[in-house]
Structure 1
Amino acid sequence: MSKVLGVLGGMGPAATVAFLARIQALTPAEGDADHIRIIADINPQVPDRNRQPDAAESVLGQMAMRLRDAGAQVLAMPCNTAHAQAAGIKKAGLPFIDMIAETTEAALTATGEAAPRKVGVLATPGGEALYTRSLQARGCRIVRLTGQDRETFMGCVYAVKRGDTGDAARAEMRRLAATLVEAGAEVVIAGCTEVPLLLTAEDVSVPLVDSAEVLAQACARACS
């Protein structure tokens, strides 16, 4: 029997809407009734996950409990950075699909051959820290942006949040991905849900693992 999915969203709104569309597209269905029932809290007012982690965890915990009380049976959150606050979400007592763990597993099999030794990550500082721990625990070395490129990346993320997915932002994200490949990345993780709104697999010369796509697939498996 299918399960009701609760989505903690709004970080940011465009990425959440794209994530919901991915779940719909990835769910095997012959008609309306075959799709997953989803209860989504798209809350753009969640405090900044990098600057106010304690406040963010409190709000996310409240969101999780409201989703549970509304009928959700499984929880997911299409925001990599906010997984640092997963402890607050888990207090709701529901299964929580771990986006970082799922994406790490996908990255390790992305080449179709031996697991990559170096994995590039396009993520916020908080998301990067989560992927560093996850990848290192699996024996992989993370390749990250350095210097001004880190600020450029955050500029691209905030461009998406204000509705700018134009050519300039797309070109910068392609350049940043290429920088990771040049530094030795055998796979690149789109470790921020804004990244795939600017970057496609065709834009990168090595496999691109879209964390939002991976999470959507995991939700379809868990709830169908």
Structure 2
Amino acid sequence: MKDFFTVIGGMGTMATESYIRLLNERTPTKRDQDYLNYILVNHATVPDRTAYILDHTKPNFFPVIAEDIKQQATLHPDFMVIVCNTAHYFYDDFQKLTDIPILNMPHVAIQEMVKKYPEAKRIGLIATEGTMADGIYNHEIEAAGREVVMADHDIQMEVNELIYHDIKENRGEVDGSLYHHILSEMKHKMHTDAIVLGCTELSLAQEKAPDHHYRVIDAQSIIVDKSIELAESNRKAARENGATD
């Protein structure tokens, strides 16, 4: 297969399913052949990312994802997407493994945030405790000239419940009221101008419970659009050069 990209997912599987569903729904199509070519690596047994980031005695997820990247690189995809915000803890090290571009979800998300909400200055961040601790989004938000507002302990406990209990344990069941309450707390208690959803499970919550008025930066939704944009651009270039499958 030519003219394709690789999705490295399974972290978790329900969130990856959301990425694929949105990817297919948003791709402009009139026939089977209009859909995008991609390989999905749903590596569900990757060790817990947050557990390792918070405690380096826990199993390290780097060599597991690194092996996936090296295997996929032999197939020569146009680019790769890692459908897990927390896994971007090792983004620079992952990219060093291959010349094939790996989309940087946090970077792309904050670039889009600046375009969409240029007046927003206090940017709330909700994510796994691993992402909160590793500073991936903090760096991107601060580099964009904005102030990072972290969830406090009480809000973080609610975020954890939504991510790990509602979605990971209960196969994608989303308590919309809990999700909306978290957004309300970040907006009114923490006084934020916009809120970054720095976890793909939170992106699934946004997909299933979008009926609110809060300004959110949905990293997974944004990387879906970026994937389509880049894949269609590569497909067009391939057609113009006469390449076929």
TM-score > 0.5 by shorter chain:
yes
* Partner Cα distance (1:67, 1:141) in 2: 37
The answer to whether the 8 Å contact 1:8/1:40 transfers is yes
Runs of at least 5 residues in structure 1 that lack an aligned partner in the other structure: none
2:199 is matched with which residue: 177, 192, 205?
192
Runs of at least 5 residues in structure 2 that lack an aligned partner in the other structure: 233-245
Report the aligned-residue RMSD.
1.9
The answer to whether the 8 Å contact 2:155/2:185 transfers is no
* Partner Cα distance (1:122, 1:110) in 2: 19
Structure 1, residues 112-150: CA drift from partner, whole Å, max 9, x if none? xx3310111221123232111110111101122112221
Q: Secondary structure at the match of 1:120?
A: strand
* Partner Cα distance (2:78, 2:92) in 1: 17
Aligned partner of 2:7 in structure 1 is: 7
* Partner Cα distance (2:18, 2:172) in 1: 13
1:88-107 alignment, distance < 5 Å: 88-90=93-95, 91-107=97-113
User: Is 1:115 aligned to residue 122 of structure 2?
Assistant: no
Report the more deviating stretch, 26-35 or 138-147: 26-35
Aligned partner of 2:18 in structure 1 is: 18
Q: Secondary structure at the match of 2:211?
A: helix
* Partner Cα distance (2:114, 2:191) in 1: 15
1:202 is matched with which residue: 203, 211, 214?
211
Aligned partner of 2:169 in structure 1 is: 162
* Partner Cα distance (1:212, 1:173) in 2: 16
Percent sequence identity is 18
User: Is 1:49 aligned to residue 49 of structure 2?
Assistant: yes
The answer to whether the 8 Å contact 1:6/1:68 transfers is no
TM-score under structure 1 length normalisation = 0.90
Runs of 4+ that moved beyond 6 A: none
Q: Secondary structure at the match of 2:7?
A: strand
The answer to whether the 8 Å contact 1:61/1:92 transfers is no
Aligned partner of 2:143 in structure 1 is: 137
The answer to whether the 8 Å contact 1:201/1:207 transfers is no
* Count of aligned pairs between the two proteins: 219
**Cα offset for 1:209?**
1.8
Q: Secondary structure at the match of 1:24?
A: helix
Aligned partner of 2:36 in structure 1 is: 36
